[in-house]
Structure 1
Amino acid sequence: MEPLIRVQNLMKIYNPGENEVRALDDVSLDIGQGEFVAIIGQSGSGKSTFMNMLGCLDVPTSGHYFLNGKDVSSLSDDELSEIRNQEIGFIFQGFNLIQNLTALENVELPLIYRNVPAAERRRLSEESLKRVGLEKRMDHKPTEMSGGQQQRVAIARALAAAPPLILADEPTGNLDSKSSREIMDILRKLHTEGRTVILITHDDKIAQSAKRIIRIMDGKIESDSGMADPKSMEEENGEK
């Protein structure tokens, strides 16, 4: 099976020349369909730059990034925007919800950009909110919800269009311990259902929820533990 993600010799260099900074320095890895991966590193390690590359929010200085078999390394801004909209569900630390919209309207918004018909948008959004336990909060605005509930809305928004990749950037960073556990439980459930989940974090405890942990330091992969065996991963996802 072809990996969902293939990164080959990825470089990201800022200030090329004498004072250059190699935020990513010759990074190569594969991430398979249905993996749950944590990418962990401290501030300045390169993990945020790597997240931007995987999320098609930035392009590398050199190297290649294949997503679903397509080389997205040198696409235009419009093409990258299309990839983000179709292929990636984002969950951010800051929730990124629109304050004057209800939970349901926030979840519907990306589907509008995908030209999903109104009735289908409503159905998909309601189903996503029910999956994260917010069936009674659909008409509430972000200011009427707790931090944990707002993050659930963000997860529902990421799920609604059923993207092949869920990219969670410090999803528990602004939450208390109880809400953090609830959010991680949801991410683990998504993984067991066969979703590919990539978790960006600086927290070792949070990273332990993943099946595979990739540590980044000084723009390089320092370690890669728990790499999934394709056959066992298929079995875990019910593809025997």
Structure 2
Amino acid sequence: MDELIEIRNMCKIYNPGENEVRALDHVDLQIDRHEFVAIIGQSGSGKSTLMNMLGCLDVPTSGTYYLNGQDVSHLTDDELSDIRNREIGFIFQGFNLIANMTALENVELPLIYRGVPKKEREELSRTALKKVGLEKRMDHKPSEMSGGQQQRVAIARAIAQAPPVILADEPTGNLDSGSTKEIMGILKELHKEGRTVILITHDNEIAARAKRIIRIMDGKIVADINNDAALA
């Protein structure tokens, strides 16, 4: 097995003491390269906290997190930001696009922060937008696109520089059924191309499209199953 993510005995505790909340309670988790994993749980289950840990948006109270062989459990904010830039492509429910920028400019923006030269970042961005079927929408601003198209821009932004991990947080939460099918199809194609895709969701039907389903409840992993019958 080629392990990309390893979490050992991770806890995240808020309000330590008498009224403490254990958002994560001694979690162990391994995810290999090229997996397509859904992490499912209801509100308050700990799935959002786990996503923040996986995405290096927060650090645990205790335990360790190895990402691509590096212990990222106790890094500074600047170090975590650098890891996020290099290792993780984020797709959020709310798209997080900049309104006065075109699709191409939105995809290019993280590449500017990474210091990618202008010609290269434009080429990477155009390639990513073509991959999600938006070659004719590159000069359109978010207000000129549907919700599904905006989410495809967000996916292009996440994949432009081929990070090892695609972390999708409720990526279809704001979309209609047709757009949901399109976005899930793109995520499945990315997985087929060899990307590691981690999908955070509360929706059983969405989770059923992943090859592995991890269920979290009260800060603990309560089920971890291989889903050989993943929906097309």
Q: What TM-score does the superposition give when structure 1 sets the normalisation length?
A: 0.94
Unmatched segments (≥5 aa) in structure 1: 229-240
Count of matched residue pairs: 228
- Specify the code of the residue in structure 2 equivalent to 1:155: I
Q: What TM-score does the superposition give when structure 2 sets the normalisation length?
A: 0.97
Could you say if the C-alpha distance between residues 167 and 16 of structure 1 is closer, same or farther in structure 2, counting changes exceeding 3 Å?
same
Secondary structure (helix, strand or coil) at the match of 1:149 reads helix
- Aligned partner of 1:178 in structure 2 is 178
Could you say if the C-alpha distance between residues 133 and 89 of structure 1 is closer, same or farther in structure 2, counting changes exceeding 3 Å?
same
Please give the alpha-carbon distance, in whole angstroms, between the structure 2 residues aligned to 1:149 and 1:227: 29
Please give the alpha-carbon distance, in whole angstroms, between the structure 2 residues aligned to 1:180 and 1:64: 34
- Aligned partner of 1:158 in structure 2 is 158
CA positional deviation for 1:2: 3.9
CA positional deviation for 1:227: 7.8
- Aligned partner of 1:233 in structure 2 is none
Matches within 5 A, 1:128-139: 128-139=128-139
CA positional deviation for 1:29: 1.1
- Aligned partner of 2:86 in structure 1 is 86
Percent of pairs identical after alignment? 77
- Specify the code of the residue in structure 2 equivalent to 1:108: E
- Aligned partner of 2:65 in structure 1 is 65
- Specify the code of the residue in structure 1 equivalent to 2:138: M
Q: Indicate if the aligned counterparts of 1:2 and 1:69 stay in contact, CA closer than 8 A.
A: no
Secondary structure (helix, strand or coil) at the match of 2:3 reads coil
- Aligned partner of 2:118 in structure 1 is 118
- Aligned partner of 2:104 in structure 1 is 104
Q: CA offsets per residue over residues 82-102 of structure 1, 9 Å max, x none?
A: 000000000000000000000
Please give the alpha-carbon distance, in whole angstroms, between the structure 1 residues aligned to 2:71 and 2:139: 40
Q: Indicate if the aligned counterparts of 2:210 and 2:227 stay in contact, CA closer than 8 A.
A: no
Please give the alpha-carbon distance, in whole angstroms, between the structure 1 residues aligned to 2:189 and 2:2: 24
Q: Indicate if the aligned counterparts of 2:169 and 2:200 stay in contact, CA closer than 8 A.
A: yes
Secondary structure (helix, strand or coil) at the match of 1:200 reads strand
Could you say if the C-alpha distance between residues 170 and 113 of structure 1 is closer, same or farther in structure 2, counting changes exceeding 3 Å?
same
Please give the alpha-carbon distance, in whole angstroms, between the structure 1 residues aligned to 2:145 and 2:43: 30
Please give the alpha-carbon distance, in whole angstroms, between the structure 2 residues aligned to 1:2 and 1:189: 20
Please give the alpha-carbon distance, in whole angstroms, between the structure 1 residues aligned to 2:2 and 2:195: 15
Q: CA offsets per residue over residues 180-215 of structure 1, 9 Å max, x none?
A: 000000000011111000000000000011000000
Q: Indicate if the aligned counterparts of 1:66 and 1:72 stay in contact, CA closer than 8 A.
A: yes
Q: CA offsets per residue over residues 205-231 of structure 1, 9 Å max, x none?
A: 000110000000000001000189xxx
Q: Indicate if the aligned counterparts of 2:208 and 2:227 stay in contact, CA closer than 8 A.
A: no
- What RMSD in Å do the two structures reach over aligned CA positions? 0.9
